[in-house]
């Protein structure tokens, strides 16, 4: 029988927090066994956690619900892979080189040295480097993406540095390690993990774009000749459309419902005379179309920023994220670019046994889970000592899932919650603090 290793991942965004648990055996078979989420996270703005305590309460609640599921109990979640996404994430191109003795074989140590050199590139002091992605290598006059084993006297490499504001990673670390009391196994760039599982090798070689339409941001990654060539995060998303609709004197919850059920990103040839709850749908539709066209125009503009044209992306455009569910938005993107536009899906080699895990809600978190599991040997779950399990042998098996209670376990998440439980109702009411500081970038 093969050994199984359990892993967990958390994606924290402005619209929801998603946690997923999976297992991978020594033959590489990967299965998602449980997922859970909470929506309406006002404590996170543009990818940066603004309220550590509120975010920690939500994450802890999700993890407790997961631990109570039959597929996980009696395991407890002690570590997670964490996604990085938000407005300050973008790529910066840099080139580094090494002079070598004649006829030197390019080894992994040399490639690691180039990577370290690239990460030390002088950049804006308000940013930090979270990853360095090699684009191409040149050995002598020969350009390649697979330099290991080649021979030469010099090597030059072009890297795409993925950078962000330090508080993006710092606030997640403080939330998870200090408050929720789980170890961060690794930070992974959500967009790159998503691209790794949703884009085919052929699409990347031909040239393609991945568009992740979130609530407050839209992330664009572009690939050509098999490598990343551009990465940018736009400060606009589906919530912009929702809040535009609130100008018609409706609450945001109702505006969101109207947008998703009745809205369309493409203008109708005939004006609607429908009146929905006192709202003229013609006015609603005009608002949706105007903002959707702005978002699409900004997405398309990234192609020229990358130094490319639409014709350079025959692999087309792949869309993920909740914002891509707006009726007509993918069709609008196809009309404006002339490219094939499809919805991103998980590949067949990722098995999902949790039937309640909808791909549109969990795709990015599952991508993080898979990349974390396949690029490390870490385990994220442990089994409690027998004397700390309830009499049933299953942690909290008799408690209802929607009302999790703190558990007794080593160095885990129970003590700090009791001091703030009385304030949860107030904490979750109203909007988060002003985010004007996030706009000054």
- pLDDT, position 337: 97
Q: Interhelix angle for 359-374 vs 190-198, to 10°?
A: 90
* CATH topology for the 4-87+168-191+348-439 domain: Nucleotidyltransferase; domain 5 (3.30.420)
Sheet architecture: strand order including 227-234:
227-234, 218-224, 208-213, 317-320, 341-343
Can you tell me the distance from the alpha carbon of 52 to that of 204, in angstroms, rounded to the nearest whole number? Answer: 38
Q: Which fold has domain 90-164?
A: Dna Ligase; domain 1 (3.30.1490)
Tell me what pLDDT residue 389 has. 52
The torsion angles phi and psi of 98, rounded to 5 degrees, stand at: -135, 140
**CB crowding 315-326: b at 16 or more within 10 Å, else e:** bbbbbbbbbbeb
pLDDT in tens, the chain (441 residues): 458 999 999 999 988 999 999 999 988 899 999 999 998 668 999 989 999 999 999 999 999 999 999 999 999 999 999 999 999 999 999 999 999 999 999 999 999 999 999 999 999 999 999 999 999 999 999 999 999 999 999 999 999 999 999 999 999 999 999 999 999 999 999 999 999 999 999 999 999 999 999 999 999 999 999 999 999 999 999 999 999 999 999 999 999 999 999 999 999 877 766 776 678 889 999 999 999 999 999 999 999 999 999 999 999 999 999 999 999 999 999 999 999 999 999 999 999 998 777 666 899 999 999 999 999 999 999 986 755 554 444 444 444 444 444 443 444 554 444 334 434 434 434 443 344 343 343
Residue among 79, 9, 5 at smallest CA distance from 366: 9
Are both 4-87+168-191+348-439 and 90-164 of the same fold? Answer: no
Q: Residue 65 in contact with residue 50, Cβ under 8 Å?
A: no
Domain ranges across the chain: 4-87+168-191+348-439, 90-164, 201-343
The secondary structure of the chain, three-state, reads CCCEEEEEEEEECCCEEEEEEEEEECCCCEEEEEEEEEECCCCEECCEECCHHHHHHHHHHHHHHHHCCCCCCCEEECEEEEEECCCCCEEEEEEEEEEEEEEEECCHHHHHHHHHHHHCCCCCCCCEEEEEEEEEEEECCEEECCCCCCEEEEEEEEEEEEEECHHHHHHHHHHHHHHHCCEEEEEEEHHHHHHHHHCCHHHHHHCEEEEEECCCCEEEEEEECCEEEEEEEECCCHHHHHHHHHHHCCCHHHHHHHHHHHCCCCCCCCCCCCEECCEEHHHHHHHHHHHHHHHHHHHHHHHHHCCCCHHHCCCCEEEECHHHHCCCHHHHHHHHHCCCEEECCCCCCEEECCCCCCHHHHHHHHHHHHHHHHCCCCCCEEECCHHHCCCCCCCCCCCCCCCCCCCCCCCCCCHHHHCCHHHHHHHCCCCCCCCHHHHCC
Contact 112, 104 (CB under 8 A): no
Domain 201-343: CATH class, spelled out: alpha beta
225 contacts 216 by C-beta, under 8 angstroms: no
> Model-level pTM greater than 0.95?
no
Q: For residue 270, what pLDDT is reported? A: 75
**pLDDT the model gives residue 226:** 95
């Amino acid at each position: 029988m093969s050994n199984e290793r359990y892993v967990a991942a958390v994606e924290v965004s402005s619209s929801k927090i998603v946690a997923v648990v999976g297992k991978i055996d020594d033959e590489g078979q990967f299965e998602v066994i449980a997922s859970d989420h909470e929506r309406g996270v006002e404590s996170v703005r543009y990818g940066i956690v603004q309220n550590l305590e509120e975010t920690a309460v939500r994450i802890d609640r999700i993890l407790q619900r997961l631990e109570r599921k039959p597929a996980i109990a009696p395991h407890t979640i002690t570590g997670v892979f964490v996604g990085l996404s938000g407005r300050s994430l973008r790529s910066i191109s840099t080139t580094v080189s090494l002079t070598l003795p004649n006829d030197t074989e390019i080894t992994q140590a040399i490639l690691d040295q180039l990577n370290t050199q690239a990460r030390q590139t002088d950049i804006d002091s308000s940013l930090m480097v979270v990853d360095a992605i090699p684009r191409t290598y040149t050995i002598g006059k020969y350009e390649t993406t697979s330099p290991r084993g080649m021979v030469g006297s010099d090597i030059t490499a072009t890297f795409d540095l993925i950078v962000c504001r330090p508080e993006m990673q710092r606030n997640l670390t403080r939330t998870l390690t200090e408050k929720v009391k789980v170890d961060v196994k690794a930070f992974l760039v959500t967009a790159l993990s998503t691209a790794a599982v949703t884009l085919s090798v052929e699409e990347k070689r031909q040239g393609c774009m991945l568009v992740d339409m979130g609530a407050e941001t839209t992330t664009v990654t572009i690939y050509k000749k098999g490598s990343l060539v551009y990465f940018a995060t736009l400060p606009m998303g589906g919530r912009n459309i929702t809040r535009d609709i609130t100008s018609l004197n409706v609450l945001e919850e109702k505006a969101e419902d109207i947008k998703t059920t009745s809205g369309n990103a493409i203008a109708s040839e005939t004006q609607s005379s429908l009146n929905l709850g006192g709202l003229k749908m013609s006015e609603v539709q005009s608002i949706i179309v105007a903002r959707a066209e702005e978002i699409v125009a900004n997405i398309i503009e990234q192609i020229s920023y990358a130094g490319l044209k639409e014709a350079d992306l025959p692999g087309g455009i792949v869309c993920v994220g909740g914002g891509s569910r707006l009726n007509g938005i993918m069709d609008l993107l196809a009309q404006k670019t002339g490219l094939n536009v499809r919805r991103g899906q998980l590949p067949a080699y990722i098995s999902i046994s949790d039937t309640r895990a909808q791909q549109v809600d969990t795709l990015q978190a599952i991508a993080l889970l898979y990349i974390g599991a396949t690029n490390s040997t870490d385990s994220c779950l442990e089994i409690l000592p027998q004397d700390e399990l309830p009499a049933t042998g299953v942690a909290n098996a008799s408690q209802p899932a929607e009302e999790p209670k703190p558990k007794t376990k080593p160095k885990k998440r129970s003590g700090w919650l009791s001091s703030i439980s009385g304030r949860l109702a107030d904490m979750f009411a109203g909007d988060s603090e002003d985010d004007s500081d996030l706009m000054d970038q």
